[in-house]
Chain A
Amino acid sequence: MKKKFKISRFFVYLFLIVAGFFSVFPFYWMFVMATRPSAAYNSIPPTLTPGEQLVENFQKVLEKTPFFGAMFNTLIVCLVVTLVVLLISSLAGFAFAKFKFPGKNIFFVSILLTMIIPPQLGLIPQYYLVAKFGLLDTLFGAMIIFFLNPLGIFLMRQYISQSVPDELVEAAKLDGCSNFRIFRSVVLPIILPAFATLGIIVFTATWGEFLWQFTVLRDPDMYTIQVALSSMNTTSNVDFGMILSGVFWATIPLVIVFLMFNKLFISSITEGSIK
């Protein structure tokens, strides 16, 4: 019995390693290309080991783009978007999960409907609005449309209704807590894992966004990283080593952010179980 159990664990690890390999391989390949001259991209057989142009390729990136400035802009955009989405989603999720109010279902369904308009078609009218508000070339203009995140509200509603016991809310009410205080002191600590999840998703999605930011940011000082990277990718000059070097170094901060959130995720679980 015990032995059989171990064999199953062996398969579990094998499965994870295989899955991990497929996940990581393209990322690794990107790193390899970031360390090699452009021609390696075309070579047969494929190049699979790192070369020695790591620094050189990155220097080219720095020459061609305002890399660090763009990273800083992106960081601000992503942080603000993530925090706003977390705030809006958790408050709305709390309301949908724990309160009774007229029109609740209609409101909930209408949030659904807002995400069904293909964003590609909304581009021109949304651009028009942002231009009219005088928000072109501002980071606020680059982030405003991402504040709308139906997934966040959905996720939070589900999580709160499942993991925050009604009794706890009732008890807090009997103690005379205001609703906002209940949210802050009772709900928030419990939903930290969901915060971590939603935070990762929103942060990375905003980091990778291109089309909208390209459309509203035209001043190189305001570029976000994807816009900056795309500006060095012009058809007449395809230096893959340089492009992938830029892409690679722009991805590293995300990995770090992920690991940070992930820690929050894990620690909050263990803490929860001690209580």
Chain B
Amino acid sequence: MAFTRKYRSEETKDKISAYLYISPFFIIFAIIGLYPAIFSLFLAFQKWNGLGEMSFVGLNNFKVVLQDPIFWKALYNTIVMGIMGTAPQIIVGIILAFILNQAYLKFKNTFRAMVFLPYITSMVAVALVFGVFFSNNDTALANYILNIFGMDTVAWKTSEWGAKIAISIMVFWRWIGYNTIIYLAGLQSIPKDLYEAARIDGANTFQQLRYITIPLLKPFIVLTVFFSTVGALQLFTEPTVFLGTQAFSRTEAMTVVMYLYRDAFSLQSFGTGSATAVILLFIIVVASAINTYLTSGIRKKGKGIKS
């Protein structure tokens, strides 16, 4: 009797601790995040130019957006660039992390720093560098290389696929280091003796990767897939700086967030901008659910939610 009572009070204490520990996030969110969220939702049903009076327009904003071919183009662009820019990151990131975690590797620190460097480099510099490598002219480095192989010059900023490919490369380049170090952190949580045992059993590097690393890294892969999906669907900074002044007037590489930013800040239509944000929210929820489900496969109840 005494034992169960003590147990119960222990459980209550745990509950209190847990709520206490997660509360900072929610308190800060309540202060700074909740109002913007509600405000955006509210705006989606209003017509507002940012300065004057608001007027209620019901679902009209959604109608305007969903009937706009540019919105669908933007969604298509976002998905295409998301697949081209982020999917390879995950695969290459795993391989890089696996290699960088090898015990025999020399200059580990140097290589890690090198791979992470793009993420540190400021967006201004990235925009300038990629602007030069992928300009529309023959003198652009990318075109120079294409010409060597006898291919035609590509208008990297204004052609349908040129712009998408250039931006995808930029996204890939900039975020690969980020994913790699998350995987590296994940690898730290894998006990070293597992590899030891596998090596003794005669498993080669590929087998180690296939049977130890990937299964145990899976929660981290799911994590990055989720965050990459959200990040890809919210793609904004890279295309904006790459395209410069043309970013909001051309549609080859306009993403959904660029579309809503253009609505709000250059067309002064905060209602349709917010409506787009609400639509995007649904798309993100669905896409990340699908992607997370696909990567985790038919997952047995993981270690994470343990009783």
Contacts and interface: CB of A to CB of B under 8 A. Distances in A.
Verify whether A and B have any Cβ pair under 8 Å.
yes
Interface of A: 8-9, 12, 15-16, 19-20, 22-24, 26-27, 29-30, 33, 41, 44, 46, 87-88, 91-92, 94-97, 99-102, 104-105, 107, 111-122, 124-126, 129-130, 144-145, 147-148, 151, 153-155, 157-159, 161-163, 166, 173, 179-180, 183, 193-194, 196-198, 200-201, 204, 207-208, 210, 226, 229-230, 233, 240, 243-244, 247-248, 250-251, 254-255, 258-259, 262-263, 265-266, 269, 273
Contacts of B227: 151, 154
B129 A26 contact: yes
6 contacts: A15-B99, A23-B116, A95-B19, A117-B277, A119-B234, A122-B36
Contacts of B257: 118, 120
Interface stretch (B55-63, B68-76, B149-157, B179-187): B179-187
Contact of A244 (B25, B125, B173, B304): B125
B185 A226 contact: no
A99 B18 CA distance: 6
B124 A23 contact: no
A249 B173 CA distance: 21
Contact of A193 (B114, B129, B185, B306): B185
Interface stretch (B83-91, B102-110, B160-168, B207-215): B102-110
Interface of B: 10-11, 13-15, 17-19, 21-22, 24-26, 28-29, 31-33, 35-37, 39-40, 50, 96, 99-100, 102, 104-105, 108-109, 111-126, 128-130, 132, 139, 141, 173, 176-178, 181-182, 184-186, 188-189, 192, 205, 219-220, 223, 226-227, 230, 234, 236, 257, 260-261, 264, 270, 273-274, 277, 280-281, 284-285, 303-307
B219 A158 contact: yes
Contact of B29 (A29, A97, A114, A200): A114
A61 to B, nearest CB: 13
B120 A102 contact: no
B205 A8 contact: yes
Nearest to B177: A23
A23 B178 contact: no
Contacts of B132: 41, 46
- Among B35, B112, B122, the one with the most A-chain Cβ atoms within 10 Å of its Cβ is B122
Contacts of B230: 115-116
A101 B104 CA distance: 44
B22 A92 contact: yes
A179 B17 CA distance: 7
Contacts of A27: 117-118, 121, 125
A107 B32 contact: no
B185 A197 contact: yes
A95 to B, nearest CB: 4
Nearest to B303: A161
A163 B189 contact: yes
Contact of B116 (A155, A179, A258, A263): A258
Given A122-B33, A130-B32, 19 more contacts: A20-B111, A26-B121, A92-B22, A100-B15, A100-B18, A113-B285, A114-B37, A117-B40, A119-B234, A121-B36, A122-B36, A126-B32, A155-B185, A173-B10, A183-B21, A197-B185, A229-B124, A247-B122, A266-B109
B193 to A, nearest CB: 10
A255 B304 contact: no
- Among B26, B115, B186, B189, the one with the most A-chain Cβ atoms within 10 Å of its Cβ is B189
Contact of A88 (B24, B130, B307): B24
Given A20-B114, A91-B24, A114-B29, A194 B188 contact: yes
Nearest to B15: A101
B129 A107 contact: no
Given A95-B22, A148-B25, A159-B189, A254 B120 contact: yes
A44 to B, nearest CB: 5
Contacts of A113: 285
A92 B13 CA distance: 16
Contacts of B264: 120-121
Contacts of A154: 223, 226-227
B69 to A, nearest CB: 21
**Lowest 4 CB-CB distances: which A-B pairs, in order?**
A122-B36, A95-B21, A99-B18, A20-B114
B96 A19 contact: yes
B173 A148 contact: no
B129 A29 contact: yes
A180 B17 contact: yes
A255 B117 contact: yes
A158 B35 contact: no
B124 to A, nearest CB: 5
A60 to B, nearest CB: 16
A206 to B, nearest CB: 12
A121 B277 contact: yes
B287 to A, nearest CB: 11
Contacts of B130: 26
B124 A243 contact: yes
Nearest to B281: A116
